[in-house]
Each structure stands twice: as structure tokens, then as C-alpha cells.
Amino acid sequence: MKHSIVTAILAAGLAFGASAAHAEFGATLKTVKDRGTLECTGHNGSFLGFAEVDDQGAWKGLDIDLCRAVAAAVLGAPDKLNIVPISWAQRWPSLQSGDVDLIIKASGATFSRDTDLGLQFSRPYYLGTTKVMAHKDLGIASLKDADGGSVCIPAGTTIERQVASYADRIGITLEPVLFEKTEELREAYFSHRCDLYAQWGPTLAIARTVAEDPSAHIILDDVLALEPEVIIVRQGDEQWLDVINWILSALMFAEQEGITSANVDEMKANPPTSEVGKLLGATPGIGSPLQLSDDWAYTMIKTVGNYAEIFDRNIGDGSVYKMPRGLNRLWIDGGVMFPMVFD
């Protein structure tokens, strides 16, 4: 089963890679500025905590807020943004064809995406593990106990390979049942069509939180993989990648320095350090190297918030999901996330 999955993924990747076109240096930023809107990836509205549509029909989530941050930094307003609903499998063709300007869709940095698909990656904005949930009444304590069982998996993702590799490693056989849409995947598992549900850890934890009876499900201790989630852009446009990386660093640097959407005006008027003054545009010079305005970081923090604010309101303590930061805390708080230096 593993071999058929891997073969299919590689074949699709190589076929796509053969037609992949590289972007020109600076082309994406110019296109976004000329158009006046950022074309950014959504999901189908059901990727809870990361890209979901609320009862009022508005997009929200951690990935969506990062799209807003890019729009605010580049175009001066977070709402100069078009969220393009897109499936997992459609991500890469949509990016290469120019239908979207970047991918922010809980997507990991992988070797094949770099070398076969002609993509390049930002620094990680989230570190997530791949886990498996099981119906508690099956009496499964670890994945090894699930030999011969079925597992619901999101189609077109690295999770397919991770499940196959992990099953091989521990010497068991699992029957994969693939679904393109997240809600169909959840429904299939919760209706007992599958014994197991393999997913990116945060998504799995959120799914159990909103289940009819969360206590009827157990998330196994097995960690199938650790995946750095990154923003993905077309190969060749290093300027656009620089813009994206400094946007992520500015969000984390703001958290590190205690700059929030509530106090950013005061911080800009009376910056406590020269680095903060430069970040917020009080001291000129941060914009021109990126071909942005000097207040790009100020505008972004003022309208969207710093990294902690984005995390908390979408999946952390300020959300219904109450997910802990874990590894995604800043280094000063015991995590592994850190900004680059604004010197």
C-alpha cells in the first residue's frame, strides 16, 4: 500500500514539475501592487482554526490572518485581500499559474516540493506534529494495536506518506481511506467509516474538541512526523520571499519586544530601542530595501496584531479551541520560534 501511495504522489509531482514555470525576481510584488489586492489561499471554509468561514460568511483563522498581515504590509490595509477557496491538490497548480500569489495553507516544506515542483519556502510560522485519533471503544492504546484497521486521511497531503512510512516502521498494515474535503474526512471518521483519523495534530485536536462527545475519542501518543508549516512561493522570486520572511519576523519581533496592536502608536511615538524605532518606521529606512513603505510593519501590527495576538484569537486562549502554544512559543518563553534581527 505504501508503494502505491508514494508512486502516485511522485508521478503527480514529476508531471507537474515538468510544466512548472519559475517566477521572475520582483515580479510577484509588482503584480500585487499593480492589482491592488493580494490573492491568497483559503480552504473550503472548514479548516477549523486556520481557514474557516464563520456564521456571517467571513473568513477567519491563523492562516487567513497571515494573509491579512501580508496585505497590510504590502498594500497598506488588511482587507485588500481576495481569499481563493482551494483544495489541497489545487495548491501547486494555482500558485504556478499565478491564480494565487502565495500559499498559506498549513503546508510543509518538503524535498519534493522544492526539487520537483519548483517551489521555495519561508521560515516556519507553525510547527505541528502528525497524530492519529481512534474511537475509544476500540480499546486501542497505540497505533501498533490498530493492525489491519482503516484510517481516514486527507488526500493530496504529506500525511498519506507519513502514515504509510510509520505503519511500515512499526510493522503493521492499515487501509487508507482518502478524502479531499476536511468536513467529509471528519464526518467519515465520526460516523465510524474509519477506525482511525490521521491528521495534522492541531487539526486533530480541534476536531476532537468540537466532536459530539470528545471523551469517546483518544489521540494516540504516536508521533508520525514533525512538519514545519511555511509560506510557499514560486521559485525564482527571491524578493517576494524576502518580503514574506521579514513580515513573519516582524510579527515575532513585535511579540518579543511587547509591541501589540493596542500600544503600537505609543511605541512608535516613543520607541524604547533603536530597533523598535526602525521596525515601526519612526526611523526611516526599513521600507525601501523591500520596496515597501517605511510604515509597513506599523500598519501590519496596528491592524492585525503581533504573532501572539494572531495565535491566541484563532487557536489559542482567546479562541474556542484553547490550544497551547507548545513549541510555537518564542524562544524567550521556552519555545523554538524566533525572529530575525532588525539591525
Task: Say yes or no: 258 and 203 in one domain.
Answer: no
Place of cell 464563520: 54
Question: Which residue among 171, 193, 226 closes a domain?
Answer: 226
- At 1 the pLDDT is 34
The verdict on residue 68 lying in a domain is yes
- CA dihedral (237, 328, 73, 276) in degrees, to 10, reads -110
- Nearest 5°: the CA angle 179, 44, 11 is 45
CATH code of residue 273: 3.40.190.10
Rounded Cα distance, 22 and 235, in Å:
5
Task: Say yes or no: 171 and 202 in one domain.
Answer: yes
Report how many domains make up the chain: 2
Task: Say yes or no: 310 and 174 in one domain.
Answer: no
Strands 196-200 and 119-135, sheet pairing = antiparallel
Please state whether the predicted TM-score (pTM) of the whole model is above 0.75.
Answer: yes
Rounded Cα distance, 98 and 213, in Å:
43
Task: Say yes or no: 234 and 180 in one domain.
Answer: no
- At 10 the pLDDT is 40
The verdict on residue 22 lying in a domain is no
The verdict on residue 290 lying in a domain is yes
Rounded Cα distance, 213 and 48, in Å:
17
- At 132 the pLDDT is 96
- At 21 the pLDDT is 52
The DSSP 8-state label assigned to residue 83 in this structure reads: E
Task: Say yes or no: 114 and 42 in one domain.
Answer: yes
State the helix-helix crossing angle for 307-314 and 62-75, rounded to 10 degrees: 140
Domain ranges, residue 149 = 128-226
Rounded Cα distance, 299 and 282, in Å:
12
Find out whether 337 and 330 touch, Cβ atoms under 8 Å. yes
Task: Say yes or no: 268 and 119 in one domain.
Answer: yes
The DSSP 8-state label assigned to residue 102 in this structure reads: B
The type of residue at 28 is T
Phi and psi, residue 209, nearest 5°: -60, -40
Reduce the secondary structure of 285-334 to three states and give it as a string.
Answer: CCCHHHCCCCCHHHHHHHHHCCHHHHHHHHCCCCCCCCCCCHHHCEHHHC
- Mean pLDDT for each 10-residue chunk of the chain (343 residues)? 37 43 84 98 85 92 97 98 90 93 93 92 94 95 96 89 95 94 89 95 86 93 92 96 98 98 98 97 96 98 98 94 90 96 91
Task: Say yes or no: 236 and 121 in one domain.
Answer: yes
